[in-house]
Structure 1
Amino acid sequence: MVGTLALLTTVTAVVTSLGAPLVASVAVDYDVSLTAAQWTLTATLLTGAMATPVVGRAGSGALRRPVILGGLALVVAGCVLSALPTGFPGLLVGRCLQGVGLAITPLALAVARDVLDPDRMPATMSLLSVAGVAGAGLGFPLTALVAGAGGLGAAFWLGAGMTAATLVAAWRHVPSAPPTGTARLDWTGGLLLTGGIAAVLLTVSQGEDWGWASWPTAALAAMGTAAILAWVPWTLRGDHPLVDLRLAARPAALAAHLTALLAGAGMYAGLTLVLIVVQADSSTGWGLGHPVGVAGLMLLPYSMLSVGGSRLALAFGRRYPPNRILPLGCAVYLLSNVLLALAHDHVWQILLVMAVAGLGSGCTFAMIPLLLISAVPPDETSSMLSFQQVLRYLGFSVGSTLGVVVLDVASGSSGPHHQGFVVAALVTAGLCGVAGTAAWRITR
């Protein structure tokens, strides 16, 4: 069962990250602009962020096993649809279905909390949390290699095969939830929250293309903010809220949520800057001038050391509580971004930076679920983990945009240059520092 849950979190992360390295290939193969091709990544993230809170609440009762199996079946269907010659609209629909995989990851952690004994549960939950981070990192080089050898279709057929195998394993080994009844869904609250999240994520991801001061960007940001602000009082008054905000405001839970948001933004900003510096033209004096395949390989030490970081955090966890280890993970990731600012002239330096970043990432995301479940009852596990994952997605989206925006602003009108890159890396390091400080202060 533990192997199946680890496979579920890893494979769904790999599949949902398939779009990132393929944007340029999609633009060429389907004869669309790069902006349009970017939607193969944006659509997946939007679907995952919108589905996660609803799926998390639906899977908190007796429907947990059917929700997991149904979610995996939708991901398989999405991979097949993307692999078939259905045109660009079919590819987008397939990528939306693949985004459902992001929503079922918290349910795997809820299974581990319900089924495993207390001695095994912390290590398993840490492994499952970090497996998603490692899987996303593995998806970049894997996708680039497979697509380079067999084309776009081959990458999605690979995703379909891996997810189908995971579906079979889940059908055999994932147990049913305890007989606690079927969770009631707050559809009005779900519409407000998912609509607000979608609007905010669209604003963040498309603001640079549309123009940060343009009326579509401003209108979308205003609608998203208004929907989320309306959701808060609605949720606090409801008897069956999609997310229990009173539980989310407990110090341990609040620290976990804020760290997921801020550290997620810092980490994705750092990964974005690494991909930029590896691929930037070497004639600029600060880029390494390598193709996207080499840039993807830079994430391998990040993925592998993320697992190592989680094991290191668990070793410390035998003597110290999660709220003391969480800031340590943020500090290690801060160090990786300082190293990136100081040393980025050679591939081995980037590999070293990614190894240190992996340690920090693994340590951080291994502790977040353990800190969170210390503040919530078992029947709220999947809902609260889903809310934390939504905040993580929001942080990822903000971070990927933030790295590029700070680089552009710090570089000025002359275009990206070395000084701007250094400033962007240091700003990213500062964001990780804020995340660690917040976690320390809130849980002190």
Structure 2
Amino acid sequence: MTEAPHDTTEVRTPPLSGRTGRSGSSGRWRERAVLAALIMLASSTAVVASLGAPLVPRIAEAEGVSLGNAQWVLTVTFLAGAVTAPLIGRAGSGRHRRPVILAGLAVVVLGSVLAALPLGFGAMLLGRVMQGLGLSLTPLAIAIARDILPAGRREAAIATLSLTTVTGAGLGYPIASLIVSHFGVAAAYWCGALLSALTLLACALTIPRHHEREDGRLDLLGAALLGGGAGTLLLVISQVHDWGVRSAVTPAMTAAAVLLLGVWAWWTLRVVGRPLVDLRLALRPGVLGANVTALLAGCGMYMMVTIAVLLVQAPTGTGYGLGYSVVMAGMMLVPYSIASVLGSKASPWLLRFISPDQLLPLGCLWFMLGALSMACFRTQLWQLLLSMLISGFGSGCSFAAMPGLIVRFVPPKETGSAMSFNMILRYLGFSTGSTLVLTILQLFSAPSGALTDGGFTAAALSAAGVSGLAAVVAFWLGRAVPAVSNG
């Protein structure tokens, strides 16, 4: 059964200032309060999701697992966000949007508590999976912002919410590292639980209670196929060094991942009437470029992040490490985050000289320059900081450009679905990058298994290659196409 054509008639929740008999200033105050809560929602969930990255070496040591296995405390979080984003997006597409957001935040709180308790590495991974559900709430926050804000402030608010996946990590890394250095890994997750609880309270007090859109059905089989295929593929990437390319396990698992993803695409396009992800919408000219770039740019971003965190913490005796503490490793994301915000703020100025379709590839090229800088110069801390600044500016331009491109090319009613899929690809890129960089480092490791300086060079060059490919894709697929009228 093929899906019926989408009704492009817009059903928009009136701005908050028009819902009550109060003065216009009171309505604007309520709009600001809701927007502040949405920004807190998007940023706090990004902070909690990023708590794994700077802690990976410490978790590997404390839990007695390999560095590659410890990296899964980051990978599973983004994978969970990618898989649950369409489910949450569909469940929150109607009048249940507010309870879905509140329930999702409650799960994040419980996941943070589970990760903090001394129940072993398996319980920590499960808690991280639950924390990843918070990432799937960002598309709902973007949809709410589009509904309640007037046209003059809507675009800037959507770009800000989209960028929080980057700036949130920039806040989470140094905070988590500082807490861990003084109080241990568990304390970082307890703080994540507190932050999530405060966000839950803010959203409960401000997010509107009603919505006029029709509720959607949940495609649980589609979610299982997507999650199984993506998870299996990430498992192959992370374990190919241990299994061996010639092992029968590697091609068998790769074939299983491709089969699951292929069945998911067939199920989504041909069978289910209300799919979690509208692939026809995602493949629409103008949207496809932003979606493919989200996957590649997300991959490049977390490759750079992982490389920087490992280099800063590694002992100087390794030949490549700088020998700093976990606190300094966490601070590496501060310049990246600041530069990301600057890149986002500079985007309107850049659009005076270039078209919106050119901003996305330009940001990817800028990011590639930062990765090349890290590949060539990383023997001093200031060199790594410079690389992160350059990459962060490019990342800010790229992620700020994506929502605007998608909004231009989809009907208003489908914004939530389109943004959810873009977030799915972004999170899959994050998880792929965090896994891929460890695989590359292991492939170039010494016979003893120790990481090498050449491995870090190869990883940084790979990140540059991924970013360069993202620029080509963004330019080629983002060439002038007619935009959809948003009414």
TM-score scaled to structure 2, two decimals? Answer: 0.84
2:136 is the alignment partner of 1:106? no
Q: Structure 1 stretch 164-173 or stretch 396-405: which is displaced more?
A: 396-405
Q: Provide the C-alpha distance between the structure 2 equivalents of 1:212 and 1:109, rounded to a whole number of angstroms.
A: 42
Q: Provide the C-alpha distance between the structure 2 equivalents of 1:77 and 1:421, rounded to a whole number of angstroms.
A: 37
Match of 1:347 in 2: 381
Match of 2:467 in 1: 432
Q: CA deviation at 1:296?
A: 1.8
2:397 is the alignment partner of 1:363? yes
Q: Could you tell me whether the CA contact under 8 Å between 1:16 and 1:98 is conserved in 2?
A: yes
For the structure 1 residues 46 and 435, does the alpha-carbon distance in structure 2 shift closer, same or farther, using more than 3 Å as the test? closer
Q: Provide the C-alpha distance between the structure 2 equivalents of 1:417 and 1:406, rounded to a whole number of angstroms.
A: 11
Q: Structure 1 stretch 237-246 or stretch 217-226: which is displaced more?
A: 217-226
Q: Could you tell me whether the CA contact under 8 Å between 1:44 and 1:98 is conserved in 2?
A: yes
Q: Provide the C-alpha distance between the structure 1 equivalents of 2:462 and 2:184, rounded to a whole number of angstroms.
A: 37
Q: Which of 465, 476, 479 does residue 441 from structure 1 map onto?
A: 476
Q: Structure 1 stretch 68-77 or stretch 187-196: which is displaced more?
A: 187-196
Query: Deviation string for 1:408-434 (max 9, x for gaps)?
Result: 556775965445543432332222111
Q: CA deviation at 1:149?
A: 1.4
Name the aligned partner's letter for residue 3 of structure 1: A
For the structure 1 residues 206 and 16, does the alpha-carbon distance in structure 2 shift closer, same or farther, using more than 3 Å as the test? farther
Q: CA deviation at 1:24?
A: 3.8
Q: Could you tell me whether the CA contact under 8 Å between 2:86 and 2:420 is conserved in 1?
A: yes
2:192 is the alignment partner of 1:147? no
Q: Structure 1 stretch 250-259 or stretch 85-94: which is displaced more?
A: 85-94
Q: CA deviation at 1:106?
A: 1.3
Q: Which of 255, 262, 280 does residue 296 from structure 2 map onto?
A: 262
Query: Deviation string for 1:56-101 (max 9, x for gaps)?
Result: 2222222221111110011011112222344444333322211111
Q: Which of 170, 193, 199 does residue 232 from structure 2 map onto?
A: 199
TM-score scaled to structure 1, two decimals? Answer: 0.92
Once the two structures are superposed, the pairs formed by residues 60-71 of structure 1 within 5 Å of their partners are 60-71=93-104
Name the aligned partner's letter for residue 427 of structure 2: Y
Match of 1:121 in 2: 154
Query: SS of the residue aligned with 1:119?
Result: helix
Name the aligned partner's letter for residue 133 of structure 1: V
Match of 2:109 in 1: 76
Q: Which of 47, 59, 68 does residue 92 from structure 2 map onto?
A: 59
Q: Structure 1 stretch 36-45 or stretch 241-250: which is displaced more?
A: 36-45
Q: Provide the C-alpha distance between the structure 1 equivalents of 2:62 and 2:461, rounded to a whole number of angstroms.
A: 38
Q: Provide the C-alpha distance between the structure 2 equivalents of 1:329 and 1:137, rounded to a whole number of angstroms.
A: 18
Query: Deviation string for 1:164-185 (max 9, x for gaps)?
Result: 1101111111224631211122
Query: Deviation string for 1:9-41 (max 9, x for gaps)?
Result: 111111112122333443454455555544433
Name the aligned partner's letter for residue 281 of structure 2: L
Q: Structure 1 stretch 148-157 or stretch 313-322: which is displaced more?
A: 313-322
Q: Could you tell me whether the CA contact under 8 Å between 1:61 and 1:379 is conserved in 2?
A: no
Q: Percent identity?
A: 48
Q: Structure 1 stretch 146-155 or stretch 313-322: which is displaced more?
A: 313-322
Match of 2:415 in 1: 381
Name the aligned partner's letter for residue 166 of structure 2: V
Query: SS of the residue aligned with 2:409?
Result: coil
Q: Structure 1 stretch 329-338 or stretch 232-241: which is displaced more?
A: 232-241
Query: SS of the residue aligned with 1:172?
Result: helix
Q: Structure 1 stretch 425-434 or stretch 410-419: which is displaced more?
A: 410-419
Gaps of 5+ in 1: none
Match of 2:18 in 1: none
Larger radius of gyration: 2
For the structure 1 residues 298 and 252, does the alpha-carbon distance in structure 2 shift closer, same or farther, using more than 3 Å as the test? same
Q: Which of 338, 341, 361 does residue 327 from structure 1 map onto?
A: 361
Q: CA deviation at 1:327?
A: 1.0
Q: Structure 1 stretch 200-209 or stretch 73-82: which is displaced more?
A: 200-209
Q: CA deviation at 1:211?
A: 4.1
Name the aligned partner's letter for residue 165 of structure 1: L
Q: CA RMSD in A?
A: 2.4
Name the aligned partner's letter for residue 426 of structure 2: R
Name the aligned partner's letter for residue 464 of structure 2: A
Match of 2:261 in 1: 228
Q: Structure 1 stretch 173-182 or stretch 408-417: which is displaced more?
A: 408-417
Q: Provide the C-alpha distance between the structure 1 equivalents of 2:61 and 2:447, rounded to a whole number of angstroms.
A: 29
Q: CA deviation at 1:224?
A: 1.9
Q: Which of 80, 88, 102 does residue 47 from structure 1 map onto?
A: 80
Q: Structure 1 stretch 126-135 or stretch 169-178: which is displaced more?
A: 169-178
Match of 2:430 in 1: 396
Q: CA deviation at 1:278?
A: 2.4
2:324 is the alignment partner of 1:290? yes
Name the aligned partner's letter for residue 141 of structure 2: A
Q: CA deviation at 1:277?
A: 2.9
For the structure 1 residues 316 and 402, does the alpha-carbon distance in structure 2 shift closer, same or farther, using more than 3 Å as the test? same
Query: SS of the residue aligned with 1:124?
Result: helix
Q: Provide the C-alpha distance between the structure 1 equivalents of 2:371 and 2:59, rounded to a whole number of angstroms.
A: 31
Q: Provide the C-alpha distance between the structure 1 equivalents of 2:338 and 2:329, rounded to a whole number of angstroms.
A: 16
Name the aligned partner's letter for residue 362 of structure 1: G
Name the aligned partner's letter for residue 362 of structure 2: L
Match of 2:283 in 1: 249
Q: Could you tell me whether the CA contact under 8 Å between 1:60 and 1:380 is conserved in 2?
A: no
For the structure 1 residues 384 and 204, does the alpha-carbon distance in structure 2 shift closer, same or farther, using more than 3 Å as the test? farther
For the structure 1 residues 59 and 347, does the alpha-carbon distance in structure 2 shift closer, same or farther, using more than 3 Å as the test? same
For the structure 1 residues 251 and 413, does the alpha-carbon distance in structure 2 shift closer, same or farther, using more than 3 Å as the test? farther
Match of 1:9 in 2: 42
